[in-house]
Amino acid sequence: PLENYGIIGDNRTSVLISCDGSIGWACLPDFDSPSVFASILDPNAGYFKISPSTNFKSMNFYEPGTNILVTEFVTSTGKARLRSFMPYIPNRRVPTSEIHLYLEMISGTISWELIFCPRFDYGASIPKFEEQNYGCRAYIDSNHSITLSCINKIQVNEEKQFGFSNFETGRGEELSFVIDWGSHKVHSIQSYQSRRRLKQTRKFWREWISKLKYHGRYREQVERSLLAIKLLIYEPTGAIVAAPTTSIPEWIGGTRNWDYRYSWVRDSALILRALFKSGYIDEGTAYLDWIFQQFLPDENDSSLLLKVLYGIRGETEIPESTLNLRGYMDSTPVRIGNLAAEQFQLDIYGSLVDAAYLYNKEGGVITITEWEKLYRVIEFVRKRWGKPDSGIWEARNEPRHYTYSKVWAWVCLDRGIKLAKELGETEIINEWQKAADEIKEDVMINAYNGKIKAFTNYYGSDALDSSVLVMSKLGFIEGNDPRFISTIKVIADKLKAGEYPFLYRYLDDDGVGGEEGAFLLTSFWLAEAYITAGNKKEARSILESIIDKANPLGLYAEEVHPETGIMLGNFPQGFSHLGLINTALDLDM
Task: Note whether 321 and 335 are within 8 A (CB).
Answer: yes
User: Residues for the chain: how many in total?
Assistant: 589
Q: Which residues of the chain have pLDDT under 50?
A: none
Q: What is the pLDDT of residue 546?
A: 97
Task: Note whether 468 and 491 are within 8 A (CB).
Answer: yes
Q: What is the pLDDT of residue 423?
A: 94
Number of CB atoms found within 10 A of residue 213's CB:
10
Q: What are phi and psi for residue 582, nearest 5 degrees? A: -60, -45
* Angle formed at CA 327 by CA 28 and CA 519, multiple of 5 degrees: 90
* Angle formed at CA 230 by CA 224 and CA 234, multiple of 5 degrees: 155
Task: Note whether 325 and 38 are within 8 A (CB).
Answer: yes
Q: What is the pLDDT of residue 183?
A: 92
Q: What is the pLDDT of residue 297?
A: 66
Q: What is the pLDDT of residue 89?
A: 74
Q: What are 323-339's pLDDT values in tens digits?
A: 999 999 999 999 999 88
Residues 6+ apart with CB under 8 A from 586: 473, 528, 531, 539
**pTM, rounded to two decimals:** 0.96
Complete domains list, the chain, with CATH: 2-206 (2.70.98.10), 211-588 (1.50.10.10)
Q: Which of 477, 434, 473 is nearest to 455 (CA)?
A: 477
Q: In whole angstroms, give the CA distance from residue 223 to residue 8.
A: 15
Q: What are phi and psi for residue 322, nearest 5 degrees? A: -115, 150
Q: In whole angstroms, give the CA distance from residue 45 to residue 86.
A: 22
Q: What is the pLDDT of residue 469?
A: 99
Q: What is the pLDDT of residue 91?
A: 66
Number of CB atoms found within 10 A of residue 22's CB:
20
Going 185 to 186 to 191 to 195, the CA torsion angle's sign is: positive
Q: What are 356-402's pLDDT values in tens digits?
A: 999 999 999 999 999 999 999 999 999 999 999 999 998 888 999 99
Task: Note whether 261 and 27 are within 8 A (CB).
Answer: yes
Task: Note whether 503 and 491 are within 8 A (CB).
Answer: yes
Q: Which amino acid is at 387?
A: K
Number of CB atoms found within 10 A of residue 303's CB:
8
Residues 6+ apart with CB under 8 A from 143: none
Task: Note whether 90 and 51 are within 8 A (CB).
Answer: no
